[in-house]
Each structure stands twice: as structure tokens, then as C-alpha cells.
Amino acid sequence: MDAHANEAAGAVAGMMEAYGTAAGRWDGNRRRWQEDDYVLFWLDGYLSRGHVMEVVEGVEHDRYLIRTHVEGGGSKVVEVRDMALLPY
């Protein structure tokens, strides 16, 4: 592994420990998450955290149904494309 890959792996491990989120897995083509993973993602321009409820794998992109906290109380389920999820 080169220095950049080591640095990225260290950053991912640190963020997973700090935020309790999953980094997903690289399948050789793209990064994928699975049901029950806690993830960081972009939603309406804001960084959010949530729990993956369902994964719909697609040919070019995957869609994730994620339960996320609603400010003031409660939660909602949102649909997020794989491009909005963060590995760290």
C-alpha cells in the first residue's frame, strides 16, 4: 500500500471510530453500503447521519433509504443516491 492509501485508510478508521459510521466496501467498481450501516451523507446541502434501512442496487448507481433525525424530534426516511454518501 502506498502512503496515500495508508493515509486514507487511517482517516476512514478514525472517522468510523469518532462518528460510529460505516465506510462501506469497495467492490472494484464503486463503494457500497449495506442495511443496518450508520452512514454520513449529504442531504439538501447539509451533512447528515443516518441508519440504512434498505439498499436498491442499480447498474450505475445505488439508492439508499436512510432513517435520519429530524431537528426538534423524531425521524424521517429519505432516499439518497450513492454519490451523496461519504466513506469518512
> What domain range is 46 assigned to?
3-86
Extract the C-alpha cell encoding 65: 433509504
Number of domains in the chain: 1
How confident is the prediction along the chain (88 residues), in pLDDT tens digits per residue? 577 767 766 776 666 676 677 888 888 888 999 999 999 999 999 999 999 999 999 999 999 999 999 889 999 999 999 999 988 6
Q: Which three cell numbers stand for residue 55?
A: 439498499
Strand partners, 39: 50
- Report CA dihedral (79, 82, 85, 86) to the nearest 10 degrees: 180
What's the predicted TM-score (pTM) here?
Answer: 0.76
Q: Is 60 in contact with 17 (CB distance < 8 Å)? A: no
